Structure 1
Amino acid sequence: MRSRLPLLAIFPVTVLTIVLATPFVLGDHPVRWESGSALPRIVKDGSKDSTTPADDSSGTTPSSSAASSAADTLKVAKPWKAGMAQWGVQLYWEEEKKKRSGTFIEDQARKHAKYLIGLGANSVSLSFPFFTEGITSDELSAESKTPSPERLQRVLKVFEDAGFRTTLRPIMDEASLDPPTGWRGNIEPASRSAWFASYKKFLTPYLEVAEEEKANTFVIGTELNSLEGDAGWDALVASAEKTFSGEVAYDANWDNYVSGRINMPVSHLGVDAYFPVKVADTAPVETLVEGWNDWLDKKATGPLPNLTIAEAGIGAMTRAYHAPGDFYTKRAVNPQVQANWYKAVCQVVQERQMQGLYWWSIWFDDDPNTPPDDKVASRLDFAGRPQTEKAVKACFTSDYAGPGTTAQ
C-alpha cells in the first residue's frame, strides 16, 4: 500500500517569505539550459547481469585524475545492496547531436561509468529533460533534446552491467518558463487533468524501459511545488506502479521541504538542497555543517534515515555559499569553496544517517576527465576539479555503510 509523505513545518511569516522568494531570485533549481518521510516500500538488491555491450570505438578513454586501476574492469567495487548508502551523481543527458550513434552514447556511458567507479560511486541517476510551452500550458512533450526511451535504455544498460544502482529522473526544462522568476516549481496548467494525462503519455515509455532494465528507482516528479498534493498524482502513480515494479519517488525542492507540506503518494522522498548559508568564502567546513544542520532542523532534528539528498552542489566561485544553486552567474573561480561545501554535505549525510546523496551534476556529452573551461562552463561543474574530486572520493569511500549505522 502506498504511503503518504506528510511533512509539516511551522515558520515565522518573515522567514517563510524569504525562503519562498529565494529560489526565484537566485536560481536554486540548477538544470543547465542553453539559451522524515515514509519508508521505501520496494528496494532492490542491485544485482545485475554482467553482459556489457561491445566497444567498437577506435578511440581511447582518458584516465581520470580520480580513477584507479580498479576502474579498468568497469565494475563497481562494492555494488549497492538494500540498506547501503547511495553514493551517486546526477548525470544530465540532453541530446546535443541528433545523429550521434548508439555506439557513441554507449562509449560515453562507459567513460562516465569508469570515472564514477574511480570516485567510489555505487549509484547513478540519469536525469533528462522534457518540455512544456509555458507556465499555464497543459501539454508536455519530448523534443529533440530529449533522449528517446530506446537510447536511454542503451545507456542505462551500461550502468546496470557495471553494477550501479540506477535511477531514471525526467525533469522539466525551464527555457520556456521565463527563468529565473518562472520555473518548474510555479507552473499553473490551465487544465490540471489535461496536464496529468499528457504527463502520463510522456512517462509511460520511460517507465517501460526502467522496468525492462530493472532500474531501482523512477522519479515521478522533481521540484513541482505548485502541483504537490494534487489529486492527479494518485492515478498517475498508480499507473506508474503497474508498469514499473521498483521504487517510485518524488524529489522536492529545498524551500517546500522545510516550509511546506509535501503530500505525495510515492514510496520515497528526495530533496534538492540549494538553500543559502550566509557565511564568508573562508568559512571552515564545521561552519558549513552547522548551516546545513540549522536548515534541516527546521523540518526535523536528529537522524533522517528515510531521506536522500537527490541533488547537492555548489558553484566553484566566490560568494557561492549565499546561493549554492546559482548557475546563471559566473563570478571568480574559487575551487576551495566548492570542495569545502562537498565535505560538509558528506559529513551531514553521515551524521544524520541519511540514505545517501547525488551530486549535481555531470553533463552526458562532456568528458569528465577534462577540466572545465571556466569561460563557458557552469561553475557548478565539479568533474575535472581536483580538490572537489578528492572530497567526493573521500566521501564515497568512507566507512559510512548506510542508515542506522554510525559514521566512522
Structure 2
Amino acid sequence: MMKRSRSRLPLLAIFPVTVLSLVLGTPFLLGNHPVRWESGSVLPKIVVGDSPESGSGAPTAGTPKSSVPSTADALKVAKPWKPGAAQWGVQIYWEEEKQKRSDAFIEAQAQKQATYLVGLGANSVSLSFPFYTEGRTSDVTKTGPGTPSPERVRRVLKVFEDAGFRTTIRPVMDEASLNPPTGWRGNIEPASRSAWFRSYQTFLAPYLKVAQDEKANTFVIGTELTSMEGDSGWDSLVASAEKSFSGEVAYDANWDKYVTGRINIPVNHLGIDAYFPVKVPDTAPVSRLVKGWNEWLDRKSTGALPHITLSEAGIGAMDGAYHAPGDFYARRTVNPTVQANWYKAACQVVQERRMTGVYWWSIWFDDDPNTPPDDKTASRLDFAGRTQSEQAIKACFSSGYTGPGNTAP
C-alpha cells in the first residue's frame, strides 16, 4: 500500500485476517484490539460505572456528488456550541505534505473545510496531527515531517474559531516506526518511562501554548496510549498541562479496553475511539446496529453516559464493514448504505445514552470535501462526498438533541 494511503488514517488499522478472526472471537481473553493496531483502556478522575430505520439497499455503482453546499463566502456556525450542549463534530486529520504548503494555502484549505462543516451542521471540530517516536522502546517523542508547526496550527485553529466552531487540538503518535500491525501506539514500552514523559512534555508544551492563546476548548493529552495508562508520569504531565492551558484536558481511549476496566489518567474528560464490531449482515436495520452498540457499552455500564464523547466514530462504506468498522486496509465492494446506517445508529446511541457528542472519522485536511472519494485509492472510511453518509450526518446534527447538560430530548 502506498504510504500516503496508509498515513491518511493513522488511527485505523487491523490485524492480519488470521489473527483478526481469532481476536474477534476472544476480545477480552487476549485484551488486544480486534480491528485496529490499537487498544485503549478506561477512566480518569471521572468514573464511568456510572426511531429505528431499516437499512437494506444493495451496493451502488460509483459515488454521487456531495449534497453539502460549497461556497467561496465565509460561513459561520448557525448554533455555536455552549457548555452542556452536544458536540456535533468531525475529526480533521492534518499531516504536512513533503513539499510544505504555503501559509496562505493552509488558511484557504481550513476555510474550505470550515465551510463544508458548516454545511453539515457541525458545531465542533477536532484537529488531529501526527508526532513521532523512534521505535517501541524509544524514550523520544518529537515532531517529524508530517507534524505541523505550532504557528501553523495556530493559523488553522483561528480559521475554525472565527467560523464559530468548538475546537480541540489532538496530537496522535504516528506508527510508522513501530513495526505495525504487531507494534502500535498502544503497546509502546519505553526503556525509561520517566525520560519518555519528559520528552512528551517538551513536545506538547508549544502546542498547549497555542491552545491557550487561541482559546481552544479541549486539548487531548493522549490518544490510545494503552500501555502507558496508569503510569504515575501522567500526574505531573497533566498538572503541567493544566497550568498552561485553562481549557479541558482530555484523554481518548480505545473502544475495546473502555469496556473492560478503568483508565487511570488524571484528566477531566474521556473520549472513546469507538469501533465496536457488530456481527450482522449488510442488510441489518439501524435498530439492530443500535442493539449491537448497546451490547458493547453495557459491558462497561448501563444507562446514561453523560461524561463520555465518541471522539472517533466511523466505518467503511463497503460490504462486510459491520464486522470490522475500523478496517481501512480493505477495499471491498462499495456500499454507501452500510456507512450511512452505521452513522444513524451511532447518533441514536449518543442521544439515548445522553453522551456529550460525536466526532466522525475523518476528513483529510488537504482533500476537497466537496469531491466524491476516488474508490480506487481512497479509504472506504472517507465520508465526504458520499451523499447518503452526508445526509445521515446532517440529520444527526439537526436532530434536536441538545446534550447531556440540557433537558430537551
> Would you call these one fold, judging by a TM-score over 0.5?
yes
Gaps spanning 5+ residues in structure 1: where? 1-13, 31-35, 41-62
The one-letter code sitting in structure 1 at the alignment partner of 2:106 is: I
Distance 1:329 1:349 in 2: 27
Distance 2:25 2:204 in 1: 33
Distance 2:407 2:82 in 1: 18
Deviation per CA, 1:87-106: give whole Å up to 9, x if none.
Answer: 00000000014331100000
Deviation per CA, 1:331-376: give whole Å up to 9, x if none.
Answer: 1111111000000000000011100010000000100000000111
SS in 2 for 1:259: coil
Deviation per CA, 1:150-207: give whole Å up to 9, x if none.
Answer: 0010000000111000000000011111212211111111110010011001000000
Deviation per CA, 1:217-238: give whole Å up to 9, x if none.
Answer: 0000000111111000000011
Distance 2:38 2:320 in 1: 18
How far 1:27 moved relative to its partner?
1.9
Deviation per CA, 1:101-122: give whole Å up to 9, x if none.
Answer: 1000000000000000000000
Deviation per CA, 1:303-337: give whole Å up to 9, x if none.
Answer: 11111000000011111111111112211111111
SS in 2 for 1:242: helix
The residue number in structure 1 matching 2:257 is: 256
Which of 67, 70, 78 matches 2:69? 67
> What is the TM-score of this pair, normalised by structure 1?
0.86
How far 1:20 moved relative to its partner?
6.6
How far 1:83 moved relative to its partner?
0.7
The residue number in structure 2 matching 1:44 is: none
The residue number in structure 2 matching 1:26 is: 35
The one-letter code sitting in structure 1 at the alignment partner of 2:167 is: T
How does 1:144-163 map onto structure 2 within 5 Å?
Answer: 144-163=145-164
Distance 1:20 1:236 in 2: 32
Contact 1:353/1:406 (<8 A) preserved: no
The residue number in structure 2 matching 1:174 is: 175
SS in 1 for 2:257: helix
Deviation per CA, 1:134-160: give whole Å up to 9, x if none.
Answer: 111111110111000000100000001
Flag the 1:15–1:143 CA change in 2: closer, same or farther, 3 A.
Answer: closer
Q: Which has the higher contact order (CA 8 A, sep 6+)?
A: 2
Deviation per CA, 1:227-281: give whole Å up to 9, x if none.
Answer: 1110000000111111111000000111111113211100101110112111111
Contact 1:136/1:189 (<8 A) preserved: yes
Flag the 1:385–1:22 CA change in 2: closer, same or farther, 3 A.
Answer: farther
More displaced stretch, 71-80 vs 106-115: 71-80
The residue number in structure 2 matching 1:55 is: none
Flag the 1:25–1:401 CA change in 2: closer, same or farther, 3 A.
Answer: closer
Distance 1:183 1:158 in 2: 32
- Number of aligned residues: 367
**Aligned alpha-carbon RMSD (Å):** 2.2
How does 1:226-237 map onto structure 2 within 5 Å?
Answer: 226-237=227-238
The residue number in structure 2 matching 1:291 is: 292
The one-letter code sitting in structure 2 at the alignment partner of 1:243 is: S
> What is the TM-score of this pair, normalised by structure 2?
0.86
The one-letter code sitting in structure 1 at the alignment partner of 2:324 is: A
Flag the 1:120–1:211 CA change in 2: closer, same or farther, 3 A.
Answer: same
SS in 2 for 1:26: coil
Distance 1:256 1:151 in 2: 34
Contact 1:318/1:332 (<8 A) preserved: yes
The residue number in structure 1 matching 2:340 is: 339
Contact 1:86/1:356 (<8 A) preserved: yes
Contact 1:74/1:162 (<8 A) preserved: yes
SS in 1 for 2:259: helix
The one-letter code sitting in structure 2 at the alignment partner of 1:266 is: V
How does 1:204-353 map onto structure 2 within 5 Å?
Answer: 204-353=205-354
The one-letter code sitting in structure 2 at the alignment partner of 1:114 is: T
Contact 2:136/2:178 (<8 A) preserved: yes
How far 1:26 moved relative to its partner?
2.9
Contact 1:316/1:338 (<8 A) preserved: yes
How does 1:350-361 map onto structure 2 within 5 Å?
Answer: 350-361=351-362
Gaps spanning 5+ residues in structure 2: where? 1-22, 48-64
